Chains A and B, each alone.
Chain A
Amino acid sequence: MTEKNMPLWEVFIRSRTGLSHRHAGSLHAPDAEMALQNARDVYTRRGEGLSIWVVPSSAITASDPTDKDVMFEPTASKIYRHPTFYEVPDEVGHM
């Protein structure tokens, strides 16, 4: 195939006001503007979105899944970060 590879883009869609953008999938397009248009056609054919972000896949830095334990372990022992760690008498009511 003689064609130049089209860059890959990750598509994020905000489905309703007040919600954050969520990853919907990816697509190929020559530039950001065409990526947006393609994302409109591919991922929002039934009013799934109010706003679209497209990001070059190559611009994303991801954590390494093999480091998962080291990366997230420190939070496991910090139970005092959760509300249930603290005793509040029933008489005080909901807090």
Chain B
Amino acid sequence: MYAQALNTVTEVSKDDPAKLAAFQARIDAEEKIEPNDWMPEGYRKTLVRQISQHAHSEIVGMLPEGNWITRAPSLKRKAALLAKVQDEGGHGLYLYSAAETLGVSREELVDALHSGRAKYSSIFNYPTPSWADMGMIGWLVDGAAIMNQIPLCRTSFGPYARAMIRICKEESFHQRQGYEIVMTLARGTPAQKKMAQDSLNRWWWPALMMFGPSDSASQHSDQNMKWKIKRFSNDALRQKFIDATVPQGHFLGLTFPDPDLKFNEATGHWEHGEIDWAEFNRVVKGEGPCNRERIKARIKAHDEGAWVREAALAHAEKRAARKAAARIAAE
């Protein structure tokens, strides 16, 4: 996903009104904005924040699933999970590159994540104690990500839209492999079925929170819609996700942990119960079950990989020096 709408307010613009109007006209005409084009400061800031949060989410998102790679129940599942986690790393890289076109450096972005200044999707702060969670993440978390990411393929900033197109092509595999894991468990022994149900009970509400605060509570949506960074509201996307997902769960004989969940014949939509926004706010603010552990793991991986980056740079320098020496000798 995981471009979750977090509580950040778009600044009031101090830009030249004529330039602003010309910019808005380009957006209204569905033109893509490219990195070297003039853009309002607020647009640039909003994009840096959103794209980098999205990138961080992809990177941190590798951790809950990485937890099960060595313990996958078969070689096939292990290969698939490894490929999925590798894709998520790739998604992070596409997105960091897109953010960098706006004039921020990779080092600044990574530093913002490690120091706790940057946010990432709340969903990755939940633990993955059972194998069923690997299925549930693919089915629900990647499923929610797809709902959010498909409209982002048409977002107004060119590099972001192009990164999203690439990402969307890869997400479908993620969701299908997840659903297949859940299906296998749901059709297995009573213990396996219970494992799947227990996992759905834990992930359903956090998955719904991935779409961000409800429309009535999110202040910055209007400007982002006007700039076509965002094209659907949080609640509209959440509803789409629920409508698509509930029948998929029922098909497997699973139930959703929401006593108020019911189909409205008149609207054709599934209605859901109240989301616990207090929990959402707690997790976003760093008080979720795994926030500290996730950042600690990221910093550890980054620090322990420092020697690889240093060695690669030293190797490149040595090779460049050798080439230069050979050239001088030949002259």
Give A contacts to B, CB under 8 Å: 1, 3-6, 8, 25-31, 33-34, 41-42, 45-46, 62, 64-66
Contacts and interface: CB of A to CB of B under 8 A. Distances in A.
B294 to A, nearest CB: 20
29 contacts: A1-B107, A1-B110, A1-B111, A3-B107, A3-B306, A3-B309, A3-B310, A5-B106, A5-B107, A6-B106, A6-B313, A8-B100, A25-B94, A26-B97, A28-B106, A29-B312, A30-B315, A30-B316, A33-B319, A34-B316, A41-B90, A42-B93, A45-B83, A45-B87, A46-B170, A64-B36, A65-B34, A65-B36, A65-B37
B90 A66 contact: no
Contacts of B94: 25, 42
B86 A45 contact: yes
Contacts of B86: 45
Contacts of B163: 25
For the complex of A and B, list the 7 residue pairs with the smallest distance between their C-beta atoms, beginning with the closest: A30-B316, A31-B316, A30-B312, A26-B97, A30-B313, A1-B107, A65-B37
Given A5-B105, A28-B106, A45 B90 contact: yes
A4 B36 contact: no
Contacts of A33: 319
Contacts of B87: 45
Contacts of B306: 3
Interface in B244-268: none
Contact of A34 (B93, B100, B312): B312
Interface string B300-317: 000000100110110111
Given A34-B316, A64-B36, A6 B100 contact: no
Nearest to B163: A25
Interface string B69-89: 000000000000001001100
B166 interface: yes
A68 B83 CA distance: 43
Given A1-B111, A45-B87, A66-B38, A25 B97 contact: yes
A1 B215 CA distance: 39
Contact of A62 (B36, B106, B320): B36
Contact of B320 (A3, A29, A31, A64): A31
Contacts of A66: 38
Given A3-B309, A3-B310, A27 B316 contact: no
Contact of B319 (A4, A27, A31): A31
Nearest to B90: A42
A33 B319 CA distance: 10
A39 B96 CA distance: 15
A30 to B, nearest CB: 4
Contacts of B34: 65
A30 B308 CA distance: 11
A18 B97 CA distance: 28
A34 B97 CA distance: 17
A34 to B, nearest CB: 6
Contacts of B166: 25
Nearest to A11: B97
B252 to A, nearest CB: 28
A12 to B, nearest CB: 14
